[in-house]
């Protein structure tokens, strides 16, 4: 069994090596897991050793061992770029030295914890932005990420675990990876590692077991991770097959998606994330996020906090790959229909509130209900997706 695992790792390292040698821009390989403790960092370091044995100029840019003996043991024989020290609120904090790595110009660098937020004062706000710079400099990167840190999955993870994950990575980063590997453990194995003190300090274990690491939470996170990797692998297979010979695509690549949002912060975020996921699942290359600003929502008539939430959501849409459309009009329905025609949208997504009673559902007539009626009279084929909030 051990020999088979070693052979697979050798093959994986050789495949990544071939990718590294194919083009000037660095290659990105991501080890994706369902939660902390599944073994992502160990897999990173195992591959790092394989690449070093093959004569590749590889360094450690940042590896977080968390004091775990098996991880510490794997770090010792690998070259590491010293971290830089930054002072924040009177404390000395260590960060990856991006400039030193680029100056050293290794072929491959290991950068753990992709979702990490850098100390204020760093060149970039997020570590994934550091990784983007490394790739542009022609340096290939091995990195690791937990599925709950994916931007478009934030709302789902919040519902599953009750945890508001604040450190998040745009989906585009993962979609742009050359390889994504699912580091998987069964729920029982992961909880066993936690109980054995292999993930967190023993004092934290009881709380973790009854909160984030509950069996039902981990099962759903595991499904998310498996689904994510399967979708990315499917896209890669289609892309490679398409390059070799014409293959009929089962996805609706010709579709255009138009997602409509307003100033409701949570609803808009949910619509944007679902639109991004739908576009990815259907292979839609062009999708839009439309905000119709009414006179009641003029800059001098809404709170600054509302404006900030709106701008943050529009920025999120851009990070997830959407194109932003902003139109001023008091006739929201007519404007949406006009834009749908202009952009030749075939899929329309908008939100609808949860009404508390049957009478409310029957008697309440809002913009979404009017939009449904208007879409029914369109001459072009448009499918509607309603996001309940």
The DSSP 8-state label assigned to residue 126 in this structure reads B
CB 262 within 8 A of CB 219: no
CA atoms within 13 A of residue 361's CA, in its CB half-sphere = 7
Region class of 206: left (phi > 0), else alpha (psi between -120 and 50), else beta = alpha
What tens digit of pLDDT does each residue of 262-302 get? 999 989 999 999 999 888 888 888 899 999 999 988 888 88
Predicted confidence at residue 324, as pLDDT, reads: 95
**What does the DSSP assignment read for 4-23?**
HHHHHHHHHHHHHHHHHTT-
CA–CA distance, 91 with 121 (Å, rounded to integer): 13
Predicted confidence at residue 43, as pLDDT, reads: 93
Question: In degrees, to the nearest 5, what angle opens at C-alpha 320 toward C-alphas 368 and 182?
Answer: 120
Predicted confidence at residue 360, as pLDDT, reads: 47
State how far Cα 163 lies from the chain centre. Answer: 16
Strand partners, 347: 257, 383
Predicted confidence at residue 234, as pLDDT, reads: 73
CA–CA distance, 380 with 378 (Å, rounded to integer): 5
Q: Extract the tokens encoding 265.
A: 């912060």
CA–CA distance, 170 with 188 (Å, rounded to integer): 30
Predicted confidence at residue 298, as pLDDT, reads: 86
Predicted confidence at residue 238, as pLDDT, reads: 61
CB 325 within 8 A of CB 260: no
Predicted confidence at residue 4, as pLDDT, reads: 65
CA–CA distance, 168 with 128 (Å, rounded to integer): 9
**Which residues of the chain fall below pLDDT 50?**
244-252, 359-364
CA–CA distance, 331 with 371 (Å, rounded to integer): 11
Alpha helices in 92-153 (DSSP H): 98-104, 127-136
The alpha carbons of the chain give a radius of gyration, in whole angstroms, of 24
Predicted confidence at residue 363, as pLDDT, reads: 44
User: Where exactly are the structural domains of the chain?
Assistant: 2-244, 256-388
Strand partners, 378: none
Same fold, 2-244 and 256-388: yes
pTM above threshold 0.75: no
Tell me which long-range contacts 351-358 makes (C-beta under 8 A, separation of at least 24). Answer: 351/260, 351/261, 351/262, 351/264, 351/267, 351/268, 351/270, 351/271, 351/386, 351/387, 351/388, 351/389, 352/386, 352/387, 352/388, 352/389, 353/388, 353/389, 354/388, 354/389
Q: Extract the tokens encoding 308.
A: 């900030």
Q: Where are the beta strands (DSSP E) in the chain?
A: 28-33, 58-62, 84-88, 91-95, 108-111, 140-146, 179-183, 256-261, 286-293, 323-328, 347-352, 383-388
Predicted confidence at residue 301, as pLDDT, reads: 84
Q: Extract the tokens encoding 269.
A: 């975020």
CATH H superfamily, domain 256-388: HUPs (3.40.50.620)
Q: Name the one residue in this structure whose structure tokens are 């990195």.
A: 143
CA distances from 293 to 39, 304, 332, 341, 387 (A): 48, 15, 8, 19, 20
CA–CA distance, 281 with 284 (Å, rounded to integer): 8
Element (H, E) at 333: helix 332-342
CATH of range 2-244; options 3.40.630.30, 3.20.20.70, 3.90.1150.10, 3.40.50.300: 3.40.50.300
Q: Name the one residue in this structure whose structure tokens are 């591959």.
A: 47
What tens digit of pLDDT does each residue of 346-364 get? 899 998 876 555 544 444 4
Label the pairing between strands 108-111 and 286-293. Answer: unpaired
Instruction: Please state the length of the chain.
Output: 389
């Amino acid at each position: 069994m051990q020999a088979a695992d070693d052979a697979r790792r050798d093959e994986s390292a050789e495949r990544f090596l071939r990718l590294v040698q194919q083009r000037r821009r660095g290659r990105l390989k991501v080890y994706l897991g369902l939660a902390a403790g599944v073994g992502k960092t160990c897999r990173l370091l195992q591959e790092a050793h394989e690449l070093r044995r093959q004569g590749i100029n590889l360094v450690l840019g940042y590896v977080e061992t968390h004091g775990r003996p098996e991880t510490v043991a794997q770090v010792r024989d690998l070259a590491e770029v010293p971290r830089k020290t930054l002072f924040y609120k009177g404390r000395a904090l260590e960060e990856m030295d991006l400039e030193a790595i680029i100056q050293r110009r290794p072929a491959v660098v290991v950068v753990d914890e992709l979702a990490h937020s850098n100390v204020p004062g760093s060149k970039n706000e997020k570590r994934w932005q550091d990784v983007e710079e490394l790739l542009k400099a022609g340096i290939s990167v091995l990195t690791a990420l937990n599925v709950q840190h994916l931007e478009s999955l934030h709302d789902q993870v919040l519902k599953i675990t009750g945890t508001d994950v604040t450190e998040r990575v745009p989906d585009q980063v993962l979609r742009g990876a050359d390889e994504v590997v699912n580091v998987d453990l069964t729920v029982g194995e992961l909880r066993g590692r936690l109980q054995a003190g292999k993930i967190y300090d023993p004092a934290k274990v009881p709380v973790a077991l009854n909160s984030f690491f509950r069996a039902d939470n981990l099962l759903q996170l595991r499904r998310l991770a498996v689904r994510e990797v399967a979708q990315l692998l499917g896209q890669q297979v289609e892309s490679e097959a398409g390059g070799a010979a014409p293959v009929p695509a089962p996805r609706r690549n010709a579709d255009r998606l138009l997602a409509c949002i307003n100033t409701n912060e949570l609803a808009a975020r949910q619509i944007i994330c679902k639109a991004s996921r739908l576009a990815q699942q259907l292979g839609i290359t062009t999708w839009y996020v439309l905000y119709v600003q009414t006179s009641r929502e003029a800059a001098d008539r809404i709170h600054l906090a509302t404006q900030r939430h709106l701008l943050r959501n529009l920025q999120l849409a851009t990070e997830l790959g959407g194109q932003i459309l902003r139109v001023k009009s008091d006739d929201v329905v007519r404007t949406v229909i006009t834009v749908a025609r202009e952009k030749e949208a075939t899929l329309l997504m908008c939100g609808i509130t949860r009404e508390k009673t049957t009478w409310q559902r029957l008697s309440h007539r809002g913009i979404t209900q009017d939009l449904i009626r208007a879409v029914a009279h369109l001459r072009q084929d448009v499918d509607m997706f309603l996001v309940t909030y």
